[in-house]
Structure 1
Amino acid sequence: MQNFDLHNPTHIVFGKETVGRLNDLVPAGARVLILYGGESARRTGTLDEVRAALGDRAVVEFGGIEPNPSYETLMRAVEMIHRQGLNFLLAVGGGSVIDGTKFVAAAVHYKGDAWDIMETHGAVVEQAMPFGCVLTLPATGSEMNKGSVVTKAATKAKLVFASDHVYPRFSILDPTKTYSLPLPQVANGVVDAFTHVMEQYMTYPVDGRVQDRFAEGLLQTLIEIGPRVLAESDNYDARANLMWTATMALNGLIAAGVPEDWSTHMIGHELTALHGIDHARTLAIVLPANMQVRREAKRDKLLQYAERVWDITEGDVEQRIDAAIGHTRAFFESMGVPTRLRDYDIGAKHIDAVIQQLEAHGMTALGERGDVTLAQSRRILEASL
């Protein structure tokens, strides 16, 4: 096992009817900016519930944060904070709203061009506004980590930043808030969480037994509950397990002491930026192809994954690896999530543009060993057609 330094200060409040805890969690004198996405938060009554829980605190709303939060939109929130003297942020939504709130929290105090935060991947962040979350869409794990992904619409750049300063102070996780979600969003959440685990698990062995077993348990949980969360929208236990699995998939615990990949995400980000494909759906396209192209480098973990997650023990080494990759693709497709670029009318002629974007954003040595070159990324995209 590798050395690690693990710290996560986010306070999690989990369960039914927990939004009322905002009165205890948000400072009494706070001037609050509520950030959210579309009108579903208002239509379902969540915004009204949040405002009621905040009592007589000064509250301002900022809606319209996109599924891939844009720098341009988020900077309008920064301007509102300065203009109205607000001092606490509350994200009400899924990972995109929370990611956007993290950027806003860091940008408020930054003196230069706030896009520097993204281009330096958070290295310039020295302080951030305090914020909390009310999670309504389980998928990204952003409610309990320090990472954020933001897109600059003007340049189609989708970048990542991370900083210890942008851990949420608290996150409220009420599974009943997921009941009204459109099923494609729920399916995306399952795929997103699954791929987050795989990015930290499907690398090479370092005898991280606790991390491996934990990761395998999260993957098996998603496989078990995936069909149920689609078939039974008001199944509390299924939705609760999805919500907690998605949080645990990316809160730092299973990454401690093990190598991480993230090449699937980096390639996927460019597909979203260029073609507008949902983030999770780019992951479903890239991950099976990534495992196929890099099967030799990932052989040991692929075989472990085949046996422990999918119970594949028959056949020779290559057959078991083929079966594991095939099971992964089939699981995504069983959730109604396509796994080929052609499903989105993207062909070989579009690959050059993706490679150019990867190069422009410095993504020339991806993966746990830094050996996913641009040529290797091209092969992965070709295998995704």
Structure 2
Amino acid sequence: MQFSYSNPTNIYFGQSQIAAIAQAIPIDSKVLVIYGGGSIKKNGVYDQVASALSGHQWQEFSGVEPNPSVETLDKAVDIVKKNKVDYLLAVGGGSVIDGSKYIAAASHYEGDGWDILIGKHQVTSAVPLGAVLTLPATGSESNKAAVVTKKSTQDKLSFLSSYVQPKFAVLDPDAMKTLPQRQLVNGLIDAWIHVCEQYLTKPTNAMVQDGFAEALLKNLKTLGNDFDHHDSDTWRANLMWNANQALNGLIGVGVAQDWATHMIGHELTALYGVDHAHSLAIIQPSLLRNQIECKRAKLEQMGKNVFGLQQSADLAEQTINYIEDFYHSLNMPTQLTEYGDNKAVAIDTILHQLKSHNMLTLGENQSITLIEVEHILQQALA
């Protein structure tokens, strides 16, 4: 293991913690509050944020969509530049937080903000950012990653920068109370696959990372099996904290990481509007079966330590079946059905997008070529 690890985000976790914003943001800051479709005005979060910012100078920007688009976010960038905003507060789920990270970086750049996503511009500074999480899933509230879509070209790309990692994040489980069941399931599956992308690779003898990853998977499995009690304070709090820990960077240090499921899944979302978590559940089982030999050791480890299976010649195959059954138990499909009338054309379109994004080899071994992606898609598309 060789790594350097730091997570500077200050976490305020628990009920009524939104009030901590008052002290977390410097009082002389000009704040832009960024949120999505307005659900925060129905569940009381907006009023709590407004109360906490009563001593600050602030304004708001709404309308950040799921899978945030650069077309929408650039409007906020203009507001930040015009009004000399010097602090951003993202109030929402991963999409709002990711979008706010883009706004933070693009506001310190005079060119086209999309340059950040295509690697033409390296971020060297950004507007400071805080977050109030309302939908646990991505862990974006305490990491340096963001994913943004360009609607005009159906591109969905990501960037990493320590400059956009939130200075603080408020995780109040009460903010989840009005979420639809679909979004709770999406959040749970998203967190599960985040863990898998850092765990289901190859043995590294990293005892802490493996043990912590397995604990998170067992926790998420328990929450999934106990989904009927999702309206309890305990259930909400545990999902919120597990989803955060799944992608705050810790379980990924010093170990091989995959992320091919995400890269292919992003194309399904950009092209066909599939929910992010749905795209992952659709791709992952087929990808695991395609890559089973190089992932066999970790699949067997997961089968024994997460699902409680016994060693056998087909343990890896059983583990994949158990993963897929877990998704099905939450009514999460593992095949894409809405991609148009022609499966071959859909596959060619996805492959073309991956090629245009220079994603010619994926996975921890770079063994998932476009030929392998085609095989994966043959199974993943109904």
Q: Is TM-score (shorter-chain normalized) higher than 0.5? A: yes
8 Å contact kept, 2:186–2:277: yes
Aligned residue for 2:309, secondary structure, equals coil
User: Deviation of residue 349 (structure 1)?
Assistant: 3.4
Is the CA contact 1:264–1:283 (under 8 Å) kept in the aligned structure 2? yes
Is 2:333 aligned against 1:338? yes
Pairwise mapping of residues 292-331 of structure 1 onto structure 2 (< 5 A)? 292-313=289-310, 316-317=312-313, 319-331=314-326
SS in 2 for 1:171: strand
Q: In structure 2, the residue corresponding to 1:260 is in which secondary structure? A: coil
User: 1:179 touches 1:233 (CA, 8 Å); kept in 2?
Assistant: no
Give the C-alpha shift of residue 378 in structure 1.
Answer: 0.9
User: Is 1:293–1:383's contact at 8 Å kept on the other side of the alignment?
Assistant: no
Contact 1:74 1:100 in 2 (8 A): yes
Q: Does 1:349 align with 2:345?
A: yes
Alpha carbons of 1:116 and 1:343: their partners in 2 closer, same or farther (altered >3 Å)? closer
Counterpart position of 1:100: 99
Other-structure match for 1:290: 287
Give the match's secondary structure for 1:238: helix
* Paired position in structure 2 for 1:271: 268
Match of 2:110 in 1: 111
Is the 1:132–1:168 contact (alpha carbons within 8 Å) kept by the matching residues of 2? yes
Shift of 1:345: 6.1
Q: Is the 8 Å Cα contact of residues 148 and 160 (structure 1) preserved in structure 2?
A: yes
1:223 partner SS? helix
* 8 A Cα contact 2:136 2:239, kept in partner: yes
**CA drift at 1:344:** 6.2
Q: Does 1:238 align with 2:235?
A: yes
Partner-residue secondary structure (3-state), 2:337: helix
Equivalent residue in structure 1 for 2:377, among 375, 381, 385: 381
What are the equivalent positions in structure 2 for 1:166-315 lying under 5 Å apart?
166-228=164-226, 230-313=227-310
CA distance in 1, matches of 2:187, 2:344: 28
- Name the SS of the counterpart of 2:7 in structure 1: coil
> Are positions 1:68 and 2:67 aligned together?
yes
The answer on whether the counterparts of 1:184 and 1:336 sit within 8 Å (CA) in structure 2 is: no
Tell me the residue number matched to 1:132: 130
Report if the CA contact (8 A) 1:180-1:233 is conserved.
no
CA distance in 1, matches of 2:293, 2:84: 56
Structure 1 CA distance, aligned partners of 2:44 and 2:304?
45
- Cα deviation, 1:183-213, whole Å, max 9, x if unaligned, reads 0000000000000000000000011111001
Listed as ranges, the gaps of 5+ residues in structure 1 are none
Q: Compute the displacement of 1:71 (Å).
A: 0.4
Q: Determine helix, strand or coil for the equivalent of 2:88.
A: strand
Alignment map for 1:79-90 (pairs within 5 Å): 79-90=78-89
Superimposed CA distance per residue, residues 242-285 of structure 1 (whole angstroms, 9 cap, x where no aligned partner): 00000000011000110000000000000000000000000000
Q: Look up the equivalent residue of 1:180 and give its one-letter code.
A: T
Distance in 1 (alpha carbons) for counterparts of 2:141 and 2:178: 20
Q: Is the 8 A contact 2:104 2:129 kept in 1?
A: yes
C-alpha distance in 2 between matches for 1:221 and 1:344: 33
Distance 1:198 1:310 in 2: 14
Q: Distance in 1 between matches of 2:96 and 2:123?
A: 19
Deviation at residue 227 of structure 1 after TM alignment = 3.6
Is the contact between residue 18 and residue 49 of structure 2 (CA under 8 Å) also seen in structure 1? yes
Query: Amino acid of the residue matched to residue 326 of structure 2?
Result: F
How far 1:323 sits from its partner (Å)?
Answer: 1.3
Give how far 1:85 is off.
2.1
Deviation at 1:348, TM superposition (A): 3.9
1:14-93 alignment, distance < 5 Å: 14-93=13-92
Residues 33 and 90 of structure 2 are in contact (CA less than 8 Å); yes or no, is this contact kept in structure 1? yes
Residues of 1 paired with 2:43 and 2:208: CA distance?
40
The one-letter code sitting in structure 2 at the alignment partner of 1:277 is: V
- Structure 1: which amino acid aligns with 2:138? T
C-alpha distance in 2 between matches for 1:231 and 1:311: 23
Letter in 2 for 1:178: M
SS of 2:362's partner is coil
Runs of 5+ consecutive residues of structure 2 not aligned to the other structure: none
- How far apart are residue 5 of structure 1 and its match? 1.1
Q: Which amino acid aligns with 2:368?
A: V
Indicate yes or no: 2:156 matched with 1:154. no
Shift of 1:300: 0.8
Aligned pair count? Answer: 380
CA distance in 1, matches of 2:242, 2:295: 24
